Structure 1
Amino acid sequence: MEAGRLLPLVGVKRTSDPWVWEGVSLPLGMGNLRPIAYGGFAIATAVVAAGATLPEDVHLVPYSLVGHFLSPATLDSPFVCEVTSIRDTRQFSTRFVVVKQRTKTGTLRSVLSLTLDMIGSPSSTPQSLREHGAKNIDPASIASVVRYEPRTPWKIETPDQLPSLEQHLAQRIAAGELDESLVDAQKAFLGLWHELFEMRAVPSSMMDQNMLGLLDVPTSQDALPLQDRRSFDWMHIRAPLPPWDGSQGPAVCEALGMHPITPMVAHLATLAFAMDGAIAFAPLSFVKQSLFDAQVASTLEFALRFHTDALDVNQWLLREIIPVHAGWQRHYGEARVFDQAGHHLATCTQQCVMRPSDPDAMAEMQAPRPYGRTPKL
């Protein structure tokens, strides 16, 4: 299947070393006031490089992706991914990747280290899923001791109940809630994102109500303790990925000399690309500030954990962002991903650096959530 818009941006090609892969495109900037690459480019490119070295005789699915940003990535040099095989057993495969860029002097500078863990999953092969579906069996319950999953703290509208993002913003402008210049500024800040993903704004989302903290207005979550405040949005990849079941083969882009990307890796890399977004600056919106109040708001390290063995990123996905802790010029946040049926597909946690624009700033301790009653017999 011909690759769409995103995969050629994070695709790789072979080098003379079978464990070293080079990006076929330059990384692009997004979601940052500085002229540096969006972190999701390095993450997704590392995933694609790691995926190119995985064994093909076992049905493997991802369960963990952990990484550390080592330095900002520039916009003028493709990534070089050095892959190391940590383990290959009958049940597991682990790859460690160091992503680098060539400097103007020709040396390689590290920008990201990443570990991808895969596990064998015979219950999630396309044939097994078809058989389970015909018998109305939940494949996640097969040979599992327990089965449970979280849900959002309140009910969220489905994508078909919501207008497109363009319609939503136009309605707010017409109602006098937004100025067109503010909408234009947000589009410029996240322009590439909206080229890649179709979005649906969730009315109860705090980041939508105050436009990433740029709009000084009351929100429906102001009365909630900060840790109970939430951001929600629906996202959908605009250019379809190869079906995750492999029915249309890998993603290819011969014009760029890109190594074919298997469907599983294509869906994994796309979600990894998307989940790097927004967590780093979300706390600003939750406390009704904006990126202009922060000199730096960048991810230090992250963990993306998968809770499904049948990851389908061609469907609408709900992202929930949760603030957990902030202090010492850092914050820790979590984003959860759900499908339209309410199933919890993945969780991304990040620790981020956040330094104020005002060097004399002093953060006020936010009131914690009150204790509940101690359970008793």
Structure 2
Amino acid sequence: MERSPPPTPNPTVAEQIAVDQTGPDTFTSRIPPARLGNARPIAYGGCTAGIAVHSACLTVPPAFHLYSVLGAFHGPTRIDRALVCSVTRTRSTKTFQTRRVVAAQVLDDGAGAGTERVCADFFVDFHVCEEELFRYEAGPSMGGEVGRGPMDGEWTAGMGEVADRLVRDGHVSAEAVRGSRLMVAMAESYYETRMCTAGVSGQNLMGLAKDLKTTQEDRHITDRTSAEWVRMRTKLATEAENCGALAFLMDGALSFLPLNLDHKDFADVSACSTLDFALRVMRPGIDMSEWHIRERKTIAAAVGRSYAESRLWNERGDMICVMTQSCIVRPAPGREVKL
């Protein structure tokens, strides 16, 4: 199937995570990080993570492959200036390489010099491929979706198809859909998405149809699932770019996943964003221009935080990675809190 053209002339993923080396183990993003799904001028966390991972990858020998990223966000990243990544080589052995990446921006302080503010910290680990004793992985919990493939029209639909159906059936207004599509225009320009219509987000369009009852209403929130097939619209040239693009993709939609799964939206929260994450990569050589299925679940929530997980498989059913996140989810003033 031919790739449909991107709906807007936004930068490619490669351009969005591109960096230039500006000093010893120091890298500066070629363009400012961009926002995604946020009306405020705050960058998407996946942009920050993708730029940081790409920077770390450029400091290791080619025999080493990404297997772990531990990250913590310390504050919002601005979209009007570059991100500077300072890399520290904390471990270099025959089988492992570890890099600490501090991502920061220079803010205006009124005196002309500017003040550096740290946006996030990352520990990025690499490993050579070793002889295997085991090879196995869990599959998607929703069943045989991998075998059916992304273009199975009985099981998947494009975001536009889901939106049109919801408008036609009176679940959302055309105006609401237009507003939502503007917020995610950058994501759609970067990668194609086929939503799994058995999943919650494939039925309520990432929670836009807030009051729509889905086919998973009888399940506990921790057993509800959303999934979609995704592929980058452009082929990336290097393993480092693909690793950065993987971090970019996997950060998406986990902080507000509990809202989508429980008939809530941003009006119900005063804060909803990622605090920290762990990305575990199972296999080297990922090609983000190929179709992959991503499945998302929420695991727990209490005391103003939530914990969620996203898993990714290729079309052959090989698990590529797992992303887990702790997120802040503060109720809006006056909203009922479930105990």
Common fold: TM-score over 0.5: yes
Instruction: Establish whether residue 63 from structure 1 lines up as the match of residue 67 from structure 2.
Output: yes
d(CA) in 1 for partners of 2:300, 2:326: 9
Instruction: Establish whether residue 363 from structure 1 lines up as the match of residue 337 from structure 2.
Output: yes
Q: Which amino acid aligns with 2:39?
A: L
Aligned residue number for residue 92 of structure 1: 96
Contact preservation (8 Å) 2:162, 2:202:
no
d(CA) in 1 for partners of 2:59, 2:176: 45
Deviation of 1:312 (Å):
2.0
Aligned residue number for residue 207 of structure 2: 213
Q: Tell me, which stretches of 5 or more residues in structure 2 are unaligned? A: 1-10
Contact preservation (8 Å) 1:66, 1:302:
yes
Number of residue equivalences: 318
Deviation of 1:362 (Å):
4.1
For the residue of structure 2 that corresponds to 1:266, the secondary structure is helix
Instruction: Establish whether residue 45 from structure 1 lines up as the match of residue 51 from structure 2.
Output: yes
Deviation of 1:75 (Å):
1.4
Which structure 2 residues correspond to residues 151-166 of structure 1 after superposition, within 5 A?
Answer: 151-155=139-143, 156=145, 157-162=148-153, 163-166=157-160
- Of the three residues 330, 334, 338, the one matched with 2:309 is 334
Instruction: From the two aligned structures, give the one with the greater strand fraction.
Output: 2
Aligned residue number for residue 83 of structure 1: 87
Query: Percent identity between the aligned chains?
Result: 30
Instruction: Establish whether residue 146 from structure 1 lines up as the match of residue 134 from structure 2.
Output: yes
Q: Which amino acid aligns with 2:337?
A: A
Deviations 1:238-271 (A, max 9, x none): 11212xxxxxxxxxxxxxxxxxxxx111111001
Deviation of 1:149 (Å):
1.0
Instruction: Establish whether residue 167 from structure 1 lines up as the match of residue 175 from structure 2.
Output: no
- Decide which moves more: 173-182 or 307-316: 173-182
d(CA) in 1 for partners of 2:265, 2:24: 45
Deviations 1:64-115 (A, max 9, x none): 0111001111111101111100111111111100000010121110001001
d(CA) in 2 for partners of 1:218, 1:355: 24
Q: Which amino acid aligns with 2:68?
A: S
Instruction: Establish whether residue 103 from structure 1 lines up as the match of residue 107 from structure 2.
Output: yes
Q: Which amino acid aligns with 1:9?
A: Q
For the residue of structure 2 that corresponds to 1:159, the secondary structure is coil
Q: Which amino acid aligns with 1:161?
A: D
d(CA) in 2 for partners of 1:202, 1:182: 21
d(CA) in 2 for partners of 1:49, 1:38: 17
- Of the three residues 29, 35, 43, the one matched with 1:23 is 29
d(CA) in 2 for partners of 1:160, 1:211: 18
Aligned residue number for residue 129 of structure 1: none
d(CA) in 1 for partners of 2:242, 2:97: 18
Contact preservation (8 Å) 1:210, 1:288:
no
d(CA) in 1 for partners of 2:49, 2:317: 26
Deviations 1:7-43 (A, max 9, x none): 111111122x212111110111112232211111111
Aligned residue number for residue 307 of structure 1: 282
Deviations 1:259-318 (A, max 9, x none): xxxx11111100100111100000011111112211111000000001112322121111
d(CA) in 1 for partners of 2:61, 2:317: 32
For the residue of structure 2 that corresponds to 1:323, the secondary structure is strand
Contact preservation (8 Å) 1:214, 1:289:
no
Q: Which amino acid aligns with 1:193?
A: A
Contact preservation (8 Å) 2:295, 2:310:
yes
d(CA) in 1 for partners of 2:25, 2:66: 20
Contact preservation (8 Å) 1:25, 1:78:
yes
Contact preservation (8 Å) 1:94, 1:118:
yes
Which structure 2 residues correspond to residues 189-200 of structure 1 after superposition, within 5 A?
Answer: 189-200=183-194
Give the alignment's Cα RMSD to 1 decimal: 1.6
- Of the three residues 42, 57, 60, the one matched with 1:54 is 60
For the residue of structure 2 that corresponds to 1:160, the secondary structure is coil
- Of the three residues 220, 224, 228, the one matched with 1:225 is 220
d(CA) in 1 for partners of 2:316, 2:173: 36
d(CA) in 1 for partners of 2:336, 2:37: 25
Deviation of 1:237 (Å):
0.4
For the residue of structure 1 that corresponds to 2:274, the secondary structure is strand
Aligned residue number for residue 270 of structure 1: 245
Which structure 2 residues correspond to residues 168-183 of structure 1 after superposition, within 5 A?
Answer: 168-183=162-177
Aligned residue number for residue 11 of structure 1: 18
Deviations 1:129-179 (A, max 9, x none): xxxxxxxxxxxxxx3223321112222252111343323433443444442
Higher CA-based Rg: 1
Deviation of 1:47 (Å):
1.2
Instruction: Establish whether residue 291 from structure 1 lines up as the match of residue 266 from structure 2.
Output: yes
For the residue of structure 2 that corresponds to 1:227, the secondary structure is helix
For the residue of structure 1 that corresponds to 2:202, the secondary structure is helix
d(CA) in 1 for partners of 2:35, 2:52: 17
Aligned residue number for residue 125 of structure 1: none
* TM, length-normalised to structure 2: 0.89
For the residue of structure 1 that corresponds to 2:151, the secondary structure is helix
